Amino acid sequence: GAVVSQHPSRVICKSGTSVKIECRSLDFQATTMFWYRQFPKKSLMLMATSNEGSKATYEQGVEKDKFLINHASLTLSTLTVTSAHPEDSSFYICSASTGPTYEQYFGPGTRLTVT
């Protein structure tokens, strides 16, 4: 149980375009989802926390207008990178939990490359 999927696993987009990444909890209802960004061989940096039906809480330094997060249902959260630039290229990982202080289950990650 407790499976989280991400789609797509890899995406290449052109500079200036937007790209959407989906995070789904397949066998449980995820009240809370977290979005992380990871640079090569580096630690995970929390970008934002989203609770179903409410606005996401962004970490300091993360542009909310650039990284749009929607958590419209208990099984789906989306991260949209708007007007992507090469510096947005990274590995994006989501996690899901049944509540903010409950165990997080991680998705397999999405590799974004902006050309």
Partner 1 sequence: AQSVAQPEDQVNVAEGNPLTVKCTYSVSGNPYLFWYVQYPNRGLQFLLKYITGDNLVKGSYGFEAEFNKSQTSFHLKKPSALVSDSALYFCAVRDDNQGGKLIFGQGTELSVKP
Q: Does 91 engage in binding with partner 1 (CB under 8 A)?
A: yes
Looking at 11-19, 41-49, 72-80, 81-89, which segment touches partner 1 (CB under 8 A)?
A: 41-49
What's the closest the beta carbon of residue 43 comes to partner 1, in angstroms?
5
Q: Does 99 engage in binding with partner 1 (CB under 8 A)?
A: yes
What's the closest the beta carbon of residue 63 comes to partner 1, in angstroms?
19
By C-alpha distance, which of 1, 7, 4 is closest to 112?
Answer: 7
Q: Does 8 engage in binding with partner 1 (CB under 8 A)?
A: no
Nearer to partner 1, 92 or 114 (CB): 92
- DSSP per-residue letters across the chain: ---EEEE-SEEEE-TT--EEEEEEESSS--SEEEEEEE-TT--EEEEEEEETTSPPEEPTT--TTTEEEEEEETTEEEEEE-S--GGG-EEEEEEEESSTTSPPEE---EEEEE-
Q: Does 42 engage in binding with partner 1 (CB under 8 A)?
A: yes
Nearer to partner 1, 28 or 106 (CB): 106
Q: Does 97 engage in binding with partner 1 (CB under 8 A)?
A: yes
